[in-house]
């Protein structure tokens, strides 16, 4: 049975100094709420007897008002709360297709009777495993589990998790590493420098390039290399999907992605793009200058390069 009352506070301060006032609403529900109110008010009257919070501060009851449609009336008389009258409020019934509930008050997690001040990876994993189908909890868990169950990864040796350059990315990578360790022989995590959506210019100029560098380095140094590697492009920023597809196509590595609502991963088809190493090697100096400088003179471009589109811009 839920309690027949709601305590509502619009003040979001988490600390109070001597002399500050805390205002909150008490909504009593049901036909017998006036009788039940007296028990709650008796508790409020004794506020000054009990300390609250980490610093054990004392609060004193200053005023109690009963709200009506247009007015309010004080019900605190000589330090005692008198029995309030019944107040009727009318609300129009509404039907909602979807509803979003936002918790303003910080939630507390309790473990073995003790409040958890800081969640460890072990505590988070314990909560995850308690879910009925934890493999569907996030895109990374769902897609990697699908790669294993579908037999796409037959011999799970090494798993490389690439995280964004954010505090949240670092935390999530530690949780995912612990989650997948029983499934793989080795689980490695990498934080991609400047892959941060809150810094658009660095994300564009450095983050995506660093992502490509790390993927290529991993593929080149791990045992088995391209023959036994797959790229899972699920999760993370959407821009990474196209880059992952191109990297996989250049390195001859299959790329998989799990779309929202799909039960399993699918293999992304190759794009109609061909990477010619001969052209790349021939123009290596040009590409390197363009990468390092960000801009080069048109005089360095190959002869017969069509620049009409640039001139018309």
pTM for the structure as a whole: 0.59
Q: Give percent above pLDDT 90 in the chain.
A: 20
Count the neighbouring beta carbons within 10 Å of the beta carbon of residue 138: 16
Per-residue confidence band for 150, with pLDDT thresholds at 50, 70 and 90: very high
Tell which wins on pLDDT, 65 or 75: 65
The pLDDT assigned to 232 comes to 93
The pLDDT assigned to 2 comes to 60
The pLDDT assigned to 163 comes to 92
The pLDDT assigned to 313 comes to 46
- Quick one: average pLDDT of 18-42? 78
Per-residue confidence band for 192, with pLDDT thresholds at 50, 70 and 90: very high
Q: Give percent above pLDDT 70 in the chain.
A: 85
Query: Looking at the predicted structure, is the pLDDT value of residue 41 above 90?
Result: no
Query: Distance between CA 82 and CA 76 in Å, rounded?
Result: 6
How do 51-52 and 57-58 pair as beta strands? antiparallel
- Quick one: average pLDDT of 15-44? 78
| DSSP category for residue 299 | G
Contact 123, 112 (CB under 8 A): no
pLDDT tens-place string over residues 197-254: 888 888 888 888 899 889 888 888 766 565 678 999 988 777 778 888 888 888 888 9
Report which secondary-structure segment, H or E, holds 98. none
- Quick one: average pLDDT of 39-47? 76
Helix (H, G, I), strand (E, B) or coil at 124: helix
- Quick one: average pLDDT of 79-85? 71
Tell me the pLDDT of the chain averaged across its residues: 81
Phi (first) and psi of residue 72, to 5 degrees: -140, 150
Query: Distance between CA 207 and CA 200 in Å, rounded?
Result: 9
76-83: long-range pairs with CB below 8 Å, 24+:
79/45, 80/45, 81/38, 81/41, 81/42, 81/44, 81/45, 83/34, 83/37, 83/38
The pLDDT assigned to 5 comes to 78
Which residue is listed with tokens 């709601």? 6
The pLDDT assigned to 308 comes to 66
Query: Looking at the predicted structure, is the pLDDT value of residue 144 above 50?
Result: yes
Contact 61, 76 (CB under 8 A): yes
**In order of start, what are the domains of the chain with their CATH numbers?**
5-81 (no CATH), 121-274 (3.40.50.10770), 276-313 (no CATH)
Count the neighbouring beta carbons within 10 Å of the beta carbon of residue 105: 8
The pLDDT assigned to 204 comes to 84
Query: Closest Cα to residue 245, out of 221, 214, 216, 269?
Result: 269
- Quick one: average pLDDT of 5-25? 82
The pLDDT assigned to 183 comes to 94
- Calculated CA dihedral for residues 256, 260, 264, 268, nearest 10 degrees: -20
The pLDDT assigned to 190 comes to 94
The pLDDT assigned to 193 comes to 92
Q: What share of the chain is helix, strand, coil (3-state, %, to 5)?
A: 35, 15, 50
Query: Distance between CA 201 and CA 235 in Å, rounded?
Result: 21
Tell which wins on pLDDT, 1 or 302: 302
Q: Where are the beta strands (DSSP E) in the chain?
A: 5-8, 25-28, 51-52, 57-58, 65-67, 72-74, 76-77, 80-81, 110-111, 114-115, 158-163, 186-191, 231-232, 255-257, 266-267
Query: Looking at the predicted structure, is the pLDDT value of residue 310 above 70?
Result: no
Query: Looking at the predicted structure, is the pLDDT value of residue 49 above 80?
Result: yes
Per-residue confidence band for 175, with pLDDT thresholds at 50, 70 and 90: very high
237-241: long-range pairs with CB below 8 Å, 24+:
237/164, 237/195, 237/197, 237/203, 239/208, 240/208, 240/211
């Amino acid at each position: 049975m839920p309690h027949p009352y709601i305590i509502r506070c619009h003040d979001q301060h988490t600390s109070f100094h001597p002399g500050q006032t805390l205002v909150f609403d008490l909504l009593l529900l049901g036909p017998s709420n006036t009788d039940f109110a007296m028990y709650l008010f008796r508790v409020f009257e004794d506020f000054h007897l009990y300390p609250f919070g980490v610093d054990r501060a004392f609060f004193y009851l200053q005023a109690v008002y009963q709200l009506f449609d247009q007015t309010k009336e004080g019900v605190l008389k000589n330090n005692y709360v008198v029995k309030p009258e019944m107040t009727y409020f009318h609300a129009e019934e509404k039907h909602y297709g979807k509803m979003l509930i936002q918790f303003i008050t910080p939630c507390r997690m309790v473990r073995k009777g003790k409040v958890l001040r800081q969640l460890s990876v072990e505590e988070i994993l314990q909560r995850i495993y308690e879910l009925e189908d934890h493999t569907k909890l996030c895109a990374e868990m769902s897609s990697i589990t699908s790669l294993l169950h579908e037999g796409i990864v037959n011999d799970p040796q090494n798993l490389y998790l690439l995280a964004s350059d954010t505090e949240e990315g670092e935390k999530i990578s530690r949780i995912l590493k612990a989650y997948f360790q029983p499934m793989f022989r080795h689980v490695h995590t990498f934080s991609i420098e400047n892959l941060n959506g809150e810094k658009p210019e660095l994300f564009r100029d450095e983050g995506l390039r660093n992502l490509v560098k790390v993927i290529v380095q991993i593929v080149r140094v791990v045992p088995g290399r391209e023959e036994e590697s797959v790229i899972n492009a699920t999760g993370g920023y959407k821009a990474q999907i196209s880059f992952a597809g191109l990297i996989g196509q250049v390195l001859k590595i299959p790329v998989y992605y799990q779309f929202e609502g799909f039960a399993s991963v699918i293999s992304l088809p190759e794009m109609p793009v061909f990477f010619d190493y001969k052209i790349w090697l021939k123009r290596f100096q040009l590409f390197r200058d363009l990468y390092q400088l960000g801009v080069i003179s048109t005089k360095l471009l190959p002869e017969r390069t069509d620049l009409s589109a640039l001139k018309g811009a």
